[in-house]
């Protein structure tokens, strides 16, 4: 846009503000509709605001949880949102009409985690140690026995065959159809986040200790990558399932998970000047976005020599990074309640 | 970030029925205009609008093979993690624990995680004690002792239900268990809020947080006696050298069963001999405070037959199987106070063939009896510490004794820095940081306190002294 004339690097990208809107509180979660026309953002105080992604107009403000929303999940194909928070109810919202369609209780206190299976047929919801599956109409499909400790992360296997559930002390893989335990892996520390690779091979946790732990459930094999500056709260696989981006202090890194995995391989580094607070790979392309506590947001092509592609600094730290389905926009929520939608151009 | 300063956290403990919820309601009704979050572990009857009350079930995360010293409270990590996610910072967090909760993992939660450390600071552990019933719980509920040991502030509640003598005795008892806590009496937890909130009781970063007087309830000596002596060189006899004489302070029946206070070999006895003007309480107390310092200072080793002179020097008498004769040089007639490290050794001061009877004597260890499991060890000592030795000692101490040391705190003078080193720990976890500079007129005195069970005062004191810089 503003052409770097004297040393115009071909691979420099532009992140420019498309629109920005302030919510009433900390942006605690965000999600895009499947068609990319709608962005939903939840404030920690409670409301979920539904935006027209093109221009930033507010379409609806959903009174999701008066005590405070924790999480939202946009359905992968329908115009449907599930939200959860401190009142302990999972709520289903028709985004077109801006109306609540259903509500369901789990009985475990706060709803902490909501995640749709890739085909959209099931919503997994966790509250404390409780875990249940719901249909898109809000009816309950199954309630699992409580986890040994509070559930700290959920991840659907992309193929949909199982749901991975992390708690302090391990990971359980529940079969998505028979609801029986497929696998159970012990891990003697806190797990903050889980992710599957798109090829369904790897299940990875980001941990308190601080480390990332990788399982190959098919082979009953596992790997441990430590050496992080601080706990690993954010991990993201690229679309191919080969590259795994991880936070963990100021130095993010990308592991090559091809073949036998990252052990013995040097990771590509994604350095920041402050502790990182978000990591997100694109959906269709190969850029990874990272954010740090000093307000910077960076775009990287980790496999390149000049990995850093773009750098912007926002006034407050990001809480969430969410790529539009076609990667044309990057939505950033921050601690002061501002939602930015940035346009990504080369 | 807009909200940089850590949010103060008050941890409320106390046995069932002690009055925690009363105190909580008292705090909440009086804190208009402040945004507080309350985390409750048991169903309380908190009835206040506009404050955030969160119910949460106790959940222990056992780190490192189930070691309790490394356990943290997973439920608190979850709730506190969510409470950080706010545009406007909270003014405070109050955690009300169950009556049976171990305060250790609650406090440890704030030591283990960078995010927790950055966003929160423990302001104080406030323990509500039921003045009427607590004593019976000492025996049937070990949690009660722990809750007292962990306290920065102790509220002796329901004090109207006991006599003032009983209350004095209780205050002395809990004071001997935890000498560093501030004790307050109340009838309905009606204490001024500035004595329980924002007091900085935990991190000690406020000046003079540790009053050296906390040493009073327990002493490095077990017995003292005052002897009127004429001028001259007298014989100081230790042990049953002369069988026809009785132990001068027989009758102070030390019940040592299993608690050995012979920290040194049987062939040593520490004494301090000091002249006093009279046996008036304030004069004896002043001498006692000097002796406390002497007992943690370097010793003068005295062999059989050698001479000691009265004064604030620790004299380590070298005994032969519990017996020994030494010379005490008295240059002016008067009353001489003799402090004995171990009160089991018979001590005689014959003048003209007659043993002088002490005109005043006191057993110090009896003020906190030997069966008291939980106690405090305080060390105050001038001088500068070698940072490496200090670090090695504290690390080793907490690693090996961390299970028994519930709390540790200190303000230390480290060689080569103008700043005070402020130190605090819970079991094996500790945090040390330099805060303000020592004042120009301030003595660079080291003050340390350990609260726990079965603490060996001599080992602590000697370990500490070995950290002094050369």
Residues A266 and A254: their CA atoms lie apart, in Å, by 9
Determine the average pLDDT of the residues in B94-99: 91
How does B49-59 read in b/e, with b if 16+ C-beta sit within 10 Å? eebbbbbbebb
For chain B, residues classed under CATH 3.40.50.300 are 7-202
Strand-pair partners of A140: A134
Closest CA to B176 of B460, B462, B449: B449
CB contact under 8 A, B82 and A110: yes
Count of beta carbons in the 10 Å neighbourhood of residue B445: 16
Task: Point out the residue among B56, B86, B113 whose CB comes nearest to the CB of A26.
Answer: B86
Residues B367 and B219: their CA atoms lie apart, in Å, by 9
Does B262 score more than 60 pLDDT? Answer: no
Helices B142-150, B164-177: axis angle to 10 degrees equals 80
Sort out which chain A residues have CB atoms less than 8 A from B4's CB and list them: none
Tell me the CA distances in angstroms from A193 to A167, A206, B275, one per residue in order. 10, 5, 70
Closest CA to B110 of B96, B122, B92: B122
Min Cα–Cα distance to chain A from B86, Å: 5
Lowest mean per-residue pLDDT among A7-11, A15-19, B400-404: A7-11
Asked if A306 and A264 touch (Cβ cutoff 8 Å), the reply is no
Determine the average pLDDT of the residues in B73-95: 92
Confidence of residue A294 (pLDDT cuts 50, 70, 90): very high
Q: Is A297 left (phi over 0), alpha (psi -120 to 50) or beta?
A: beta
For chain B, residues classed under CATH 3.30.1220.10 are 374-465
Asked if B398 and B423 touch (Cβ cutoff 8 Å), the reply is no
Q: What is the structure's pLDDT at B54?
A: 80
CB contact under 8 A, A150 and B59: yes
Strand-pair partners of A331: A322, A341
Say if A228 is an interface residue toward chain B (CB within 8 Å).
no
**Which of B58, B87, B114 is the best mutation test for A, with the most CBs of A within 10 A?**
B87
CB contact under 8 A, B57 and A230: no
pLDDT digits 0-9 by tens, A16-65: 999 999 999 999 999 999 999 999 999 999 999 999 999 999 999 999 99
**HSE on the CB side for A121, CA within 13 Å?**
11
Q: Sign of the C-alpha dihedral, residues B294, B343, B453, B259?
A: positive
Q: Which phi and psi (to 5°) does residue B177 adopt?
A: -75, -45
Q: What is the structure's pLDDT at B365?
A: 56
Residues B283 and B277: their CA atoms lie apart, in Å, by 7
Residues A213 and A182: their CA atoms lie apart, in Å, by 19
Determine the average pLDDT of the residues in B40-64: 72
Residue B370 is encoded by which pair of tokens?
């030997």
Lowest mean per-residue pLDDT among A240-254, A308-322, B45-59, B381-395: B45-59
Sort out which chain A residues have CB atoms less than 8 A from B57's CB and list them: 109, 128
Q: So what's the architecture of B7-202 in CATH?
A: 3-Layer(aba) Sandwich (3.40)
Strand-pair partners of B154: B127, B183
Residues A255 and A44: their CA atoms lie apart, in Å, by 33
pLDDT digits 0-9 by tens, B54-67: 877 788 887 765 66
Does B101 score more than 90 pLDDT? Answer: no
Opening angle at CA A53, ends A47 and A58, nearest 5: 40
Tell me the CA distances in angstroms from B193 to A140, B25, B155, B186, one per residue in order. 48, 12, 12, 12
Q: Are strands B360-363 and B223-229 parallel, antiparallel or unpaired?
A: antiparallel
Task: Give Cβ neighbours of residue B427 (< 8 Å, ≥ 6 apart).
Answer: B68, B69, B70, B104, B108, B398, B402, B403, B405, B406
- N-terminal to C-terminal alpha carbon distance within chain B: 45
Sort out which chain A residues have CB atoms less than 8 A from B88's CB and list them: 25
Cα B297 to chain centroid, rounded: 19
Residues B396 and B400: their CA atoms lie apart, in Å, by 6
Residues B83 and A106: their CA atoms lie apart, in Å, by 21
Does B337 score more than 60 pLDDT? Answer: yes
Sort out which chain A residues have CB atoms less than 8 A from B56's CB and list them: 109
Residues counted in chain B? 470
Sort out which chain B residues have CB atoms less than 8 A from A316's CB and list them: 1-2
What percent of chain B stands above pLDDT 70?
84
Min Cα–Cα distance to chain A from B138, Å: 32
Say if A211 is an interface residue toward chain B (CB within 8 Å).
no
Q: Which phi and psi (to 5°) does residue B22 adopt?
A: -60, -45
Q: What is the ipTM of this complex?
A: 0.90
Does B213 score more than 70 pLDDT? Answer: no
Say if A209 is an interface residue toward chain B (CB within 8 Å).
no
Chain B interface with A: residues with Cβ < 8 Å: 1-2, 54-57, 59, 61, 63, 74-75, 77-78, 82, 85-88, 113-115
For the sheet containing A329-334, what is the strand order?
A14-22, A338-345, A329-334, A318-323
Say if A109 is an interface residue toward chain B (CB within 8 Å).
yes
Residue A260 is encoded by which pair of tokens?
């036998």
Closest CA to B385 of B423, B421, B438, B334: B421
What is the full DSSP assignment across A200-227?
Answer: S--EEEEETTTEEEEEETTTTEEEEEE-
Confidence of residue B366 (pLDDT cuts 50, 70, 90): very low
Reduce the DSSP state of residue B435 to 3 states and report it: strand
| Superfamily per CATH, domain B374-465 | CobW-like, C-terminal domain (3.30.1220.10)
Confidence of residue B413 (pLDDT cuts 50, 70, 90): very high
Confidence of residue B381 (pLDDT cuts 50, 70, 90): confident
Residues counted in chain A? 346
**Which of B3, B35, B84, B85 is the best mutation test for A, with the most CBs of A within 10 A?**
B85
Task: Give Cβ neighbours of residue B262 (< 8 Å, ≥ 6 apart).
Answer: B342, B344
CB contact under 8 A, A149 and B61: yes
Q: What is the structure's pLDDT at A346?
A: 78
Determine the average pLDDT of the residues in B386-411: 90
Sort out which chain B residues have CB atoms less than 8 A from A248's CB and list them: none
Asked if A115 and A156 touch (Cβ cutoff 8 Å), the reply is yes
Reduce the DSSP state of residue A6 to 3 states and report it: coil
Does B43 score more than 70 pLDDT? Answer: no
Residues B128 and B20: their CA atoms lie apart, in Å, by 6
Determine the average pLDDT of the residues in B111-124: 88
Determine the average pLDDT of the residues in B109-121: 87
Reduce the DSSP state of residue A232 to 3 states and report it: coil
Cα A55 to chain centroid, rounded: 24
Asked if B449 and B377 touch (Cβ cutoff 8 Å), the reply is yes
Q: What is the structure's pLDDT at B210?
A: 52
Sort out which chain A residues have CB atoms less than 8 A from B115's CB and list them: 231
Q: What is the structure's pLDDT at B49?
A: 58
Lowest mean per-residue pLDDT among A212-226, B78-92, B211-225: B211-225
Q: What is the structure's pLDDT at A20?
A: 97
Q: Are strands B374-382 and B360-363 parallel, antiparallel or unpaired?
A: unpaired
Mean pLDDT, chain B, rounded, equals 83
Count of beta carbons in the 10 Å neighbourhood of residue A304: 12
pLDDT digits 0-9 by tens, B284-322: 988 988 888 788 778 899 999 999 999 999 999 998 888
Taking the CA atoms of residue B152, residue B153, residue B156 and residue B158 in that order, the dihedral angle to the nearest 10 degrees is: -130
Cα B411 to chain centroid, rounded: 14
Residue B329 is encoded by which pair of tokens?
């040089």
Determine the average pLDDT of the residues in A175-184: 96
Reduce the DSSP state of residue B115 to 3 states and report it: helix
Q: Which residue has the tokens 């545009």?
A: B87
Does B260 score more than 70 pLDDT? Answer: no
What percent of chain A stands above pLDDT 90?
89
Residues B301 and B461: their CA atoms lie apart, in Å, by 17
**HSE on the CB side for A42, CA within 13 Å?**
26
Min Cα–Cα distance to chain A from B11, Å: 22
Sort out which chain B residues have CB atoms less than 8 A from A189's CB and list them: 63
Determine the average pLDDT of the residues in B193-221: 63
Mean pLDDT, chain A, rounded, equals 94
């Amino acid at each position: 846009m503003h052409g770097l004339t004297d040393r115009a690097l071909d691979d420099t990208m532009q992140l420019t503000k498309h629109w920005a809107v302030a919510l009433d509180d900390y942006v605690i979660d965000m999600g895009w509709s499947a068609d990319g026309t709608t962005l939903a953002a939840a404030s920690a105080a409670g409301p979920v605001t539904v935006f027209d992604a093109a221009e930033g107009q507010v379409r609806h403000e959903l009174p999701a949880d008066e005590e405070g929303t924790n999480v939202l999940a946009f359905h992968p194909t329908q115009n449907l949102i599930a939200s959860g928070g401190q009142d302990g109810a999972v709520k289903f919202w028709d985004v077109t009409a801006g109306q609540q369609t259903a509500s369901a209780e789990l009985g475990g206190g706060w709803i902490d985690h909501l995640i749709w299976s890739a085909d959209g047929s099931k919503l997994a919801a966790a509250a404390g140690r409780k875990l249940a599956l719901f249909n898109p109409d809000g009816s309950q499909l199954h309630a699992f026995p409580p986890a040994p400790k509070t559930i700290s992360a959920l991840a659907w296997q992309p193929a949909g065959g199982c749901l991975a559930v992390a708690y302090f002390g391990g990971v359980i893989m529940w079969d998505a159809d028979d609801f029986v335990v497929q696998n159970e892996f012990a891990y003697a520390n806190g797990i903050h986040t889980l992710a599957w690779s798109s090829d369904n091979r790897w299940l990875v946790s980001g941990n308190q200790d601080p480390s990332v732990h990788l399982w190959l459930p098919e082979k009953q094999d596992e790997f441990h990558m430590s050496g992080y500056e601080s706990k690993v709260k954010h991990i993201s696989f690229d679309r191919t399932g080969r590259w795994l981006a991880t936070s963990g202090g100021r130095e993010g890194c990308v592991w090559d998970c091809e073949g036998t995995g990252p052990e013995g391989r040097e990771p590509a580094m994604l350095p920041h000047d402050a502790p990182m607070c978000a990591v997100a790979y694109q959906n269709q392309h190969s850029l990874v976005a990272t954010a740090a506590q000093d307000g910077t947001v960076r775009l990287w092509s980790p496999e390149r020599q000049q990995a850093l592609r773009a750098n912007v600094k926002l006034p407050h730290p990001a809480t969430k990074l969410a790529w539009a389905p076609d990667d044309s926009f990057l939505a950033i929520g921050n601690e002061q309640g501002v939602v930015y939608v940035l346009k990504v151009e080369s | 970030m807009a909200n940089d300063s850590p949010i103060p956290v008050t941890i409320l403990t106390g046995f069932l029925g002690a009055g925690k919820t009363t105190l909580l309601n008292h705090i909440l009704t009086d804190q208009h205009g402040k945004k507080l979050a309350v985390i409750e572990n048991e169903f309380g009857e908190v009835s206040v609008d506009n404050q955030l009350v969160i119910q949460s079930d106790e959940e222990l995360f056992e780190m490192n093979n189930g070691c309790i010293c490394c356990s943290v409270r997973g439920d608190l990590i979850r709730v506190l993690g969510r409470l950080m996610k706010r545009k406007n910072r909270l003014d405070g967090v109050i955690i009300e624990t169950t009556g049976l909760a171990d305060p250790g993992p609650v406090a440890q939660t704030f030591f283990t995680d960078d995010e927790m450390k950055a966003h929160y600071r423990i302001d104080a552990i406030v323990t509500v004690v039921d003045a009427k019933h607590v004593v019976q719980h000492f025996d049937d509920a070990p949690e009660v002792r722990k809750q007292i040991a962990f306290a920065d502030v102790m509220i002796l509640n329901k004090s109207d239900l006991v006599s003032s003598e009983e209350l004095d005795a209780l205050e002395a008892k809990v004071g001997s268990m935890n000498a560093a806590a501030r004790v307050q009496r109340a009838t309905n937890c009606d204490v001024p809020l500035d004595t329980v909130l924002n007091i900085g009781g935990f991190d000690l970063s406020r000046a003079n947080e540790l009053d050296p007087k906390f040493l009073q309830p327990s002493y490095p000596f077990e017995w003292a006696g005052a002897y009127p002596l004429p001028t001259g060189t007298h014989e100081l006899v230790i042990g049953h050298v002369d069988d026809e004489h009785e132990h001068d302070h027989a009758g102070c029946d030390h019940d040592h069963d299993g608690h050995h206070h012979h920290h040194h070999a049987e062939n040593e006895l520490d004494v301090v001999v000091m002249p006093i003007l009279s046996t008036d309480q304030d004069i004896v107390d002043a001498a006692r405070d000097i002796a406390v310092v002497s007992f943690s200072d370097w010793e003068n080793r005295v062999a059989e037959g050698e001479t000691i002179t009265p004064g604030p020097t620790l004299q380590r008498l070298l005994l032969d199987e519990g017996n020994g004769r030494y010379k005490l040089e008295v240059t002016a007639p008067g009353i001489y106070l003799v402090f004995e490290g171990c009160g089991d050794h018979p001590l005689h001061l014959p003048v003209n063939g007659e043993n002088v009877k002490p005109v005043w004597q006191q057993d110090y260890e009896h003020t906190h009896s030997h069966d008291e499991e939980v106690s405090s060890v305080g060390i105050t000592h001038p001088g500068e510490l070698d940072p490496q030795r200090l670090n090695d000692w504290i690390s080793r101490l907490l690693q090996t004794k961390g299970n028994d040391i519930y709390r540790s705190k200190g303000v230390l003078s480290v060689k080569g820095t103008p700043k005070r080193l402020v130190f605090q720990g819970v079991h094996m976890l500790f945090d040390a940081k330099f805060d303000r500079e020592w004042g120009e007129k301030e003595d660079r005195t080291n003050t340390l306190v350990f609260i726990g069970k079965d603490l060996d005062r001599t080992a602590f004191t000697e370990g500490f002294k070995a950290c002094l810089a050369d």
